[in-house]
Amino acid sequence: MVVKKAPRTLFDKIWDAHEILRNESGQSLLWIDRHFVHEGSFHAFNKLNARDLKVAHPALTTGIADHYVPTRGRSIQVVTDKVRSVIEQLEHNTREHGVTLLGLDDPRQGIVHVVGPEQGLTQPGLLMVCGDSHTSTHGALGALAFGIGASEVAHVLATQTLWQTRPKRLRITVDGRLGAGVTAKDIALAWIARLGADGARGHAIEYAGEAIRALSVEARLTLCNLSIEGGGRCGMIAPDDKTLAYLKGRPDAPEGEQWEQAEHYWRTLHSDEGAVFDREVTLRAEEIAPQVTWGVSPEEALPIDGTVPDPARAASPAKARQIQDSLDYMGLRAGQKLTEVAVDSVFIGSCTNARLEDLRAAAEVLRGRHCRVPGIVSPGSTQVKQQAEAEGLDRVFIDAGLEWRESGCSMCVGMNGDQVGSGERCASTTNRNFKGRQGPGARTHLMSPAMVAAASLTGHLTDIRELTR
Amino acid sequence: MTPFTELSALACPLPLENVDTDQLIPARFMKESRDKGYGGFLLHDMRFGADGTPTDFVLNDARAKGSEILVARRNFGAGSSREAAVYALVDYGFRCVIAPSFGDIFSSNSVNNGLLPALVSEKDCEAILDALGDRPGELRVDLNAQTITAGDRDFPFEINATWKIKLLNGWDDIDLTRARAEDIERFREHYTAAYPWVTS
C-alpha cells in the first residue's frame, strides 16, 4: 500500500530534514549546515573559551569581517583602538579555533549576507545561522536561515546544533506585475507597513506569486533580508531555474555529479499543492508604489506621493503619542508632503541594497548628473566593488559627487565610525530607521537605491517615477 | 544561571511601542568588554542628552531605583540580534520584561540570560500600565502559575513551555545538548550520507 505523504510547506521540508530529535515540550534540536561569525561574535567566543570548549565542526563556520571594518581604505590603522581590537579578536578567535576567515585583505570579504550567496555558500535546502538578524537574507535561494544571539552562537560553535521551537507559517503572495520604479524594497516596506513591524512575529515567511517569481535573485535577497523588519523568523522563496542559474559555477557550489544530485533534491523544495499555512496574506503588485519611511520603525512607511501622518487622526491616544514621538524625533510636520522633505545626505550600501543590481539602478539615475547633497556608496562586497568598477559605475558615482568606499556594514549601523550627524537627515538604502541607528540623533528615511539616487539629485525625497518620466 | 520562580519587585513603566534593540543599547557601546557590566549603556540615549546630562526619562526618576521589572508596549526588543541588549537589561538589574509582543530573537536571548519575557495581551498590558499610573510600582510575577499580580488583580502571561522549564531551573542549553552527543553523531552520519554535497 502506498501511503501518500501529507502535503508540506517548503519551510517544513527543510526543518524536517534537519531535525535531530524533539524533546518532551516540543522543541527541536536542529543540525546546522552553515554558520557565519563576524567581529560582533566575540561574546560567543568568550563564552566558549570560558568553558574551555572547542568548535565542534570548524569547517562549517566561516568568519567574515564586516560590521566594524573601515571603508576609507583597508588599513586597520585608521580606526579607533577599540574598533581595531574587535577586528583583531575575530582574527584571533578564528585562528585559534581553525575557522576560515574572510578578513580585511581577502578578495572575498564583504557583508556576510552578500558574501554567502556570492560565494555559493548559500544553497537551497540548507539550514544557515549567524549572529545577525539579517541572516533571513539567505532564504532567497530556498535556504532556511535566521539570526541568533550570542548564547546561541556559542551553542552552535560547541555543538553544530540549535534548539528551536517550530514557528508558524505565513505565506505572502504578491500577484500581478510591479510598476516601473517599484522594487523588492517597496514590496517589503509595503507589507511591513500593512502587517506591522511585529506582524510576522513567530512565523516563517514564504514569499510566492507572480511578482515574486519575476524578481531577480538579487532582488529576492533584498526582500528576504527585510523579513526580520516585519518580525519574521525567516523569509524564503522556493528555488527555481533562476536560483540554479545564479548558483551554478560559484566557488562553493557543488560541481559535476554532486550538482546533479543536489539539483534533483532542490527541485523538490517547494510547498506542495494543498500545504497548509497558518496565515495567508495577498498583495497586488500594481497597487504598490515606491515607499519611503517617515518614522522610526520600518512599519512607519508610506507611498512617496503621501503625506506625513497626523497624530490627531490616530486610532487611539496611545497611537497618537507614538506618532507624535516619531515626528518629533524625525523633525517632521503632520500633513507635510513627503516629497517636500529635504535631506542632508544619502547612503547607498548594506546587506539590504548594495549588490551589483542595486548599484546599477542607482547609477542609472545619477549618470551624467550632479548630486545636491553629499553621500557615500559602500558596495556590498569587495567582489561587487570590483565588478562595479569594471562597469565604470564608480566613475558615475564619483562624477555625480558621491564617495566611493570599500565594502562593509558602514553607515547602516555606524559601528566603524561612518555615521550620520545628530539632527541630520539621510536617505538610505538600508534596513532600519530606528532612533540613533545611523548615529546618535540621526534621522533615517529608508527607500530603494534608485529612490536614494533621486533624492541625492534633488535634495529632497523624490518620486522616482516623476524624475524618470 | 539563576533560576526564576517568583519575583515581587518594583516595576518601571515604559509605555512605548517598538523599543528596539538599537535603543536598548546603541551600537557604539557594543565593542566594550562585559567585564565592567553593560548596565550603564541601557537605553543610554533616552537616559542621557548629547552632553551626558540625565534627561527626565522614567529610569532617571529616584522612585525607579531598584526596578527589576519593565512594562512596555508592543514589539519590545525588535530588530538586531544583539544579545548585548539583554546584557544591558540584566546588568542594570532587570529580571523580567512584560509586553504584548517581543522580537523573536530578543525573547530567546532573554531566556538564555535568565530574563523572563512575559507576554500579555494588549488589553492586560494597558491595565497593568494603568495600575502603575505612569510611575514605578510593585508587581508580583509567578512563573509557575504564569500570572502577574498588580494590586488585587491577576493577569495571565504566556511563555514557551521549554523556556519556562529552562528559566525555572536556570538550565543552560550547552550542557543539555552535549548529553545528546550520540544522537547528534548518529544524525550527522545519516545526514552526510543523504546530502553529500553539503559538506564536501
Encode pLDDT of A23-38 as tens digits.
Answer: 988 999 999 999 999 9
Correct CATH for B6-169 of 3.20.19.10, 3.30.300.90, 3.10.20.30, 3.40.50.261: 3.20.19.10
* B104: amino acid identity, one letter: D
Nearest-by-CA chain A residue for B161: A25
Mind listing the pLDDT tens digit for each residue in B95-107? 999 999 999 999 9
Contact B26 A126 (CB under 8 A): no
Domain limits, chain A: 11-166, 291-467
B77: closest CA among B90, B64, B68? B90
* Structure-block grid coordinates of residue A145: 536561515
What pLDDT score does A24 carry? 87
pLDDT at A68: 96
Q: Which helix (H) or strand (E) holds A212?
A: helix A210-213
pLDDT tops 90 at residue A78: no
Contact between B162 and A165 using a beta-carbon 8 Å cutoff: yes
pLDDT above 80 (res A3): no
Contact A125 B195 (CB under 8 A): yes
Q: What residues of A are in contact with residue B73 (Cβ under 8 Å)?
A: 318
Q: How do residues B136-157 score in pLDDT, each as one tens digit?
A: 999 999 999 999 999 999 999 9
Cβ–Cβ contact B37 with A under 8 A: no
Domain ranges of chain B: 6-169, 173-200
Put simply, whether B165 touches A (Cβ < 8 Å) is: yes
Q: For chain B, count helices (H), then strands (E).
A: 9, 7
Express each pLDDT in A223-239 by its tens digit: 999 999 999 999 999 99
B47 lies within 8 A of chain A by CB: no
CB contact under 8 A, B173 and A163: yes
- Those residues whose C-beta lies under 8 Å from the C-beta of residue A39, and which sit 6 or more positions away, are A65, A66, A67, A68, A69, A86, A87, A89, A90
Out of B101, B108, B197, name the one closest to residue A149 (CB): B108
Q: Is pLDDT at A102 greater than 70 in this prediction?
A: yes
Least confident of A377-391, A424-438, B167-181: B167-181
Choose, out of A66, A430, A435, the residue to mutate when testing the contact with B (most B CBs < 10 Å): A435
Task: Examine the pLDDT at A4 and tell me if it is beyond 70.
Answer: no
Query: Region A84-101: what's the mean pLDDT?
Result: 97
Does the CB of B1 have a partner CB in chain A at under 8 Å?
no
CATH no. of A11-166:
3.30.499.10
In angstroms, what separates the C-alpha of A171 from chain B's closest C-alpha?
18
- pLDDT of A61 strictly over 60: yes
**Does ipTM come in above 0.85?**
yes
Mutate to test the interface with B, among A198, A260, A328 (most CBs of B within 10 A): A198
The superfamily in CATH containing domain A291-467 is Aconitase, domain 3 (3.30.499.10)
Q: How confident is the model at residue A448 (pLDDT cuts 50, 70, 90)?
A: very high
Give pLDDT tens digits for A267-319: 999 999 999 999 999 999 999 999 999 999 999 999 999 999 999 999 999 89
Q: Quick check: A469 pLDDT over 70?
A: no
pLDDT of A77 > 90? The answer is no
For chain A, count helices (H), then strands (E).
16, 19
The answer to whether residue B138 neighbours chain A at the CB level (below 8 Å) is no
Contact A31 B187 (CB under 8 A): yes
Q: Which residue of B has its CA nearest to A419?
A: B28
A148 with B80: Cβ contact below 8 A = no
Q: How far is B5 from chain A (nearest CA, A)?
A: 19
| Pick from A329-333, B139-143, B162-166: least confident | B162-166
- Interchain contact, A59 vs B199, CB within 8 Å: yes
pLDDT at B118 over 60: yes
What per-residue confidence (pLDDT) applies to A2?
60
Show residues of chain A in contact with B127, CB under 8 Å.
Answer: none
- Residues facing residue B154 across a β-bridge: B149
Residues 6+ apart with CB under 8 A from A256: none
Whether residue B184 and residue A440 make contact (CB cut-off 8 A), yes or no, is no
Name the residue among B146, B107, B153 with its Cα closest to residue B129: B153
Distance CA A213, CA A285 (A): 12
* Residues in chain B within 8 Å Cβ distance of A27: 162
Q: What is the pLDDT of residue B199?
A: 85
pLDDT band at A5 (very low <50, low <70, confident <90, very high): confident
Q: What is the pLDDT of residue A1?
A: 55
Q: What is the mean pLDDT of residues A108-122?
A: 98
Q: Residue A264's closest chain B neighbor by CA?
A: B195
Residue-wise pLDDT tens digits, A376-430: 999 999 999 999 999 999 999 999 999 999 999 999 999 999 999 999 999 999 9
With CA atoms as reference, the chain B residue closest to A163 would be B173
Chain B hits for A150, CB-CB cut-off 8 Å, are: 83-84, 109
Strand B96-99 and strand B69-72: pairing?
parallel
For A159, which of B34, B79, B184 is closest by C-beta distance?
Answer: B184
CB nearest A147 (choices: B81, B188, B195): B81
Cβ contacts (< 8 Å) between A296 and chain B: which residues?
18
Chain B residues with beta carbon closer than 8 angstroms to that of A31: 184, 187-188, 191
Q: Could A198 and B82 be called an inter-chain contact, meaning their C-beta atoms sit closer than 8 Å?
A: no
The pLDDT assigned to B53 comes to: 96
Asked if B169 is an interface residue toward chain A (Cβ–Cβ < 8 A), one would say no
Mutation to test the A interface, candidates B28, B31, B130, most A Cβ within 10 Å: B31
CB environment A435-458: b (16+ within 10 A), e (fewer): bbbbbbbbbbbbbbbbbbbbbbbb
Q: What are phi and psi of B100, to 5 degrees?
A: -80, -15
| Per-residue 3-state assignment (H helix, E strand, C coil) for B90-105 | HHHCCCEEEECCECHH
Determine, for residues B18 and A197 on separate chains, whether the beta-carbon distance falls below 8 Å. yes
Note the pLDDT of residue B134: 80
Which residues does chain B have within 8 Å of residue A126's beta carbon, measured at their own beta carbons?
198
Q: State residue A31's pLDDT score.
A: 98
Check CB contact under 8 Å for B162 and A27: yes
Q: What is the pLDDT of residue A18?
A: 98
CB contact under 8 A, B75 and A231: yes
In whole angstroms, what is the distance from residue A65 CA to residue A103 CA? 5
**Cβ <8 Å between B16 and A322:** yes
Cell of A221: 535577497
Nearest to A188 by CA among A158, A213, A220, A157: A220
Percent of residues, chain B, with pLDDT higher than 70 = 100
Chain A residues lying within 8 Å of B28, measured CB to CB: 414-415, 440
